[in-house]
A and B are shown apart, each in its own frame.
Chain A
Amino acid sequence: MKQSPVELERRRSLFGRGENTTVIMLLVGFFAAIVAVQLIIGAIGGKVGYPSFIAPVNLVNILMQVSAVGMMAMGMTVVMIGGGIDLSVGMLTSLVVIYLAKGIMDWGIPMWAAIFSVIIIAVVLEVAMGLIISRFSVEPFIITLGGMIAFRGIALLMCHSQEVSTKGRFAVLKDNLIAGAKDPVTGLTLNLPIYLIVFFVITIIIWWLMKYTKYGRRVYAIGANRNAAYLAGINVKNTVLSTYALNGLIVGIAAIMLLSRVNTAIITTGQNLEIDVIAAVVVGGTALSGGKGNIWGTFIGAILLGSIANGMNILRLQSEWQFVAKGVILIVAVAAGAAVQARRERTLQLKQIK
Chain B
Amino acid sequence: MSDEVILKLNNISKSFPGVLALDNISFDLKKGEIHCICGENGAGKSTLIKIISGAYQPDPGGTIEFEGKPVTFFHPSVAMKLGIQTIYQEHTIFPHLDITENIFVGMELTKNGMMRKAKMREKTIDVLKYLQSDLSPDALVNELTSGEQKIVEIAKALVLERKVIIMDEPTSSFSVNEIDNLLGLIKKIKETGIGIIYISHHLDEVFKIADRITVLRDGKHVITCDAEEVDEQQLIRYMVGRDASVFYHREFYKPGEVVLKAENLTGNGVYDISFEVRQGEILGFAGMVGSGRSELMTLLFGGAEKADGKISVMGKEVDFKNPGSAIKNKMCYITEDRQATGLFLIHTIARNTIIANLVNTKRLVINPAKEFLVGDKFIKELGTKATDSKMMVMNLSGGNQQKVVLAKWFNTNGDIFIFDEPTRGIDVGAKQEIYKIMMNLLKEGKAIIMASSDMPEIVSMSDRVMVMKSGRVVGQLSREEINEENILELSIGGKKI
Contacts and interface: CB of A to CB of B under 8 A. Distances in A.
Contact of A213 (B364, B388, B408): B364
B207 interface: no
A220 B324 contact: no
A208 to B, nearest CB: 9
Contacts of B256: none
A350 B46 CA distance: 12
B355 A217 contact: yes
Contacts of A2: 18
Nearest to B47: A353
A135 B388 CA distance: 38
B395 A232 contact: no
Given A217-B355, A231-B303, A353 B344 contact: no
B16 interface: yes
Nearest to B16: A350
A41 B395 CA distance: 49
B344 A211 contact: no
Contact of B333 (A13, A231, A344, A351): A231
A232 B356 contact: yes
A227 B337 CA distance: 11
Interface stretch (A3-11, A100-108, A141-149): A3-11
Contact of B346 (A7, A14, A234): A14
Given A214-B366, A291-B347, A348-B395, A353 B355 contact: no
A137 interface: no
Most buried by A among B19, B322, B323: B19
Given A10-B387, A220-B351, A348-B395, A232 B408 contact: yes
A46 interface: no
Interface residues of A, number: 46
Contact of B358 (A9, A16, A217, A230): A217
Contact of B356 (A233, A287, A351): A233
A221 B396 CA distance: 18
Interface in B378-433: 386-388, 390-392, 394-397, 408
A10 B341 contact: no
Nearest to A349: B16
A347 B396 CA distance: 11
Contacts of A354: 19, 42
B462 interface: no
Given A212-B365, A214-B358, A230 B351 contact: no
B368 A212 contact: yes
Contact of A14 (B42, B347, B396): B347
Contacts of B351: 15, 217, 220-221
Contacts of B47: 353
A272 interface: no
A353 B366 contact: no
A72 to B, nearest CB: 25
A234 B347 contact: no
A296 to B, nearest CB: 14
Contacts of A13: 348, 390-392
B366 A217 contact: yes
B388 A10 contact: yes
A44 interface: no
B189 to A, nearest CB: 31
A15 B348 CA distance: 7
Contact of A224 (B346, B365, B395): B346
A152 interface: no
Contacts of A344: 395
B301 interface: yes
Interface in B311-329: 322-324, 326-328
Nearest to B44: A353
Interface in B17-67: 17-19, 21, 42, 44, 46-47
B442 interface: no
B155 to A, nearest CB: 31
A14 B348 contact: yes
B71 interface: no
A6 B386 contact: yes
A220 B366 CA distance: 14
A178 B342 CA distance: 53
A25 to B, nearest CB: 22
B353 to A, nearest CB: 11
Contacts of A215: 364
Nearest to A226: B341
A218 interface: yes
A319 interface: no
B322 A353 contact: no
A230 B343 contact: no
Interface in B326-380: 326-328, 333, 335, 340-348, 351, 354-356, 358-359, 361, 363-368
A9 B391 contact: yes
Nearest to A348: B395
A213 B17 CA distance: 40
Nearest to B412: A233
A352 interface: yes
In the A-B complex, the 6 residue pairs with the smallest Cβ-Cβ separation, listed nearest first, are A233-B324, A233-B359, A224-B344, A232-B356, A233-B327, A353-B21
Interface of B: 16-19, 21, 42, 44, 46-47, 301, 303, 322-324, 326-328, 333, 335, 340-348, 351, 354-356, 358-359, 361, 363-368, 386-388, 390-392, 394-397, 408
26 contacts: A3-B387, A6-B395, A9-B391, A10-B387, A13-B348, A14-B347, A14-B392, A212-B367, A215-B364, A217-B351, A217-B366, A220-B351, A224-B347, A230-B323, A231-B341, A233-B322, A233-B326, A233-B356, A233-B358, A291-B344, A349-B16, A350-B16, A351-B396, A353-B16, A354-B19, A354-B42
Interface of A: 1-7, 9-10, 13-16, 211-218, 220-221, 224-225, 227-235, 287, 291-292, 344, 347-354
Given A10-B390, A14-B392, A351-B396, 7 more contacts: A2-B18, A3-B387, A212-B365, A214-B358, A214-B366, A231-B335, A291-B347
